[in-house]
Amino acid sequence: MKTLCSLLSASITALLVSTSAVAAELEVLHWWTSPGEQRALSELKAAVHDQGDEWVDFAIIGGGGENAMNVLKSRIISGNPPTAAQIKGPTIKQWGSLGLLADIDPVAKADQWDSLIPEQLQTDLKVDGKYVAAPINIHRSNWMWVNPEAFHKIDRPVPTTWQQFFDSAPLLRKAGIEPLAIGREDWQLATLFETVLLGTQGVDFYRKALIELDSAALDSDQMIAVFTTLASLRNLLPSTPEQRWDAATVRVIEGKAAIQIAGDWARGEIIAAGKVPGKDILCKAVPDTENDFIYIIDSLVMFRTTDQQQQQAQARLARLLMNPEFQQSFSHYKGSIPIRQIIHSKADSKTVDACAQSARHALETSAKAGSLLPSMVHSMAVNERVKRSFFDVVEHFFKTPRMTPEQASAQLKAAVSASH
Ligand code: BGC
């Protein structure tokens, strides 16, 4: 005979996986505010609408999501969380362990997410073995977006090493082209740090310094070498950087700047501008990271609620986020790869551009080689406090020309050690 407990849990499961319920309002916090991101988001809004629910937009400007996390904290503290939010990595675990997140495992079980999401990535989405975050896609951060015309004008090849880039920089400036486009937000400087660190020091050092937070690695000759390359990049920062990362991408698209180091959300901007990624704007791995993939998963968590209509709408949303057609169309505009296609790769080479194909190839190679790495900058590797310490030291280094690589390395160890 069934126990009351198992009957209750069966009825909760039925409630969660049922799709034919009363429509509800879904208030979703995110930071997809650039033209490309908004275009991708419109696919999600339309799909939610088609399911009969009403999307209530809760958008907070600021790539990397730090502003969004601050706003979210205050909503949670005041006891009024949104229905769902874009959250990543260890923060998912933190909110989940506090019992704030809805268990979406019944949907995941019914739709067999375990067989669709690579095991390494599943752990980023679960708390105590149960899914609390519904993933959509995977982004790669170690990209260099290049305007080939800029290098054509100065009669130099598109750089594949930092030295080639540094050698081209004075010629680019002479031709009236900024060598490097970058936005004013600190996470973009941190992107230079994260990707240069991987390229110049390799996978093991990346793991030690940015994931394990090994104090010997944080202040080391290798870290000094990272800041030495960053010092050369520091000399090339535009005097008036753009406000936002996507405005920096537009400068590359328009040929006012030669390169931008950015995740493949930049591909979404290239598409939104009507250009062809891989042709009009080239996608090259950051020097010496061709076989590596610094990953970011976009996922939404659902906040625990006692309202049954909301619970059903959350389950509908979770199921939708893993829908293969939705993931395909979202990723097309977003510049990412659908997460469920990583295992059951059905990528159609006719419909995806050269950069998407190259991202998929890098993903497969890096997963085999053990160089699929979570991004520190995009909160996949460390919590927000630790991330902030990295950002503060890196930003201070870029904004203080007299600061030496040795000082930066010592400060990094002190700041990061104090924050965890
Ligand atoms: C998110 C992307 C977003 C990017 C820039 C990253 O943290 O994962 O979805 O496009 O920030 O806003």
Protein residue closest via CA to atom 10 of ligand 1 = 265
Closest atom, ligand 1, to C-alpha of 33: 12
Residue 205 CA to ligand 1 center (angstroms) comes to 25
CB hemisphere CA count around 371 (13 angstroms): 22
Whether the CB-CB separation of 321 and 97 falls below 8 Å is answered with: no
Helices (H), 88-142: 89-97, 105-110, 119-122
CB-based pocket (< 6 A), ligand 1? 31, 37, 63-65, 139, 265, 296, 298, 378
pLDDT digit string (tens) for 180-230?
999 988 999 999 999 999 999 999 999 999 999 999 999 999 999 999 999
Q: How far is the CA of 263 from the centre of ligand 1 (A)?
A: 8
Atom of ligand 1 nearest to the CA of 377: 7
Give the other-Cβ count within 10 Å of 143's Cβ: 28
State in Å: Cα 1 to ligand 1 middle: 50
Pairing of strands 372-374, 178-180: unpaired
Which protein residue has the closest C-alpha to ligand 1 atom 8? 298
Gap between the Cα atoms of 15 and 350, Å rounded: 40
Instruction: Tell me how far the alpha carbon of residue 221 lies from the centroid of ligand 1, in angstroms.
Output: 32
CATH code of domain 143-294+368-419: 3.40.190.10
Q: Which fold has domain 4-137+298-357?
A: D-Maltodextrin-Binding Protein; domain 2 (3.40.190)
Same fold, 4-137+298-357 and 143-294+368-419: yes
Ordered by start, the domain boundaries in the chain are 4-137+298-357, 143-294+368-419
Q: Which of 366, 378, 410, 324 has its CA nearest to residue 92?
A: 378
List, in sequence order, every beta strand (DSSP E) within 153-275.
178-180, 257-261
- What percentage of the chain carries pLDDT values higher than 70? 92
Buried-exposed string 214-230: b where 16+ CB fall within 10 A, e elsewhere: eeebbbbebbbbbbbbb
pLDDT digits over 64-115, tens only? 888 999 999 999 999 999 999 999 999 999 999 999 999 999 999 999 999 9
DSSP annotation of 113: G
Atom 4 (ligand 1): residue with closest C-alpha? 63
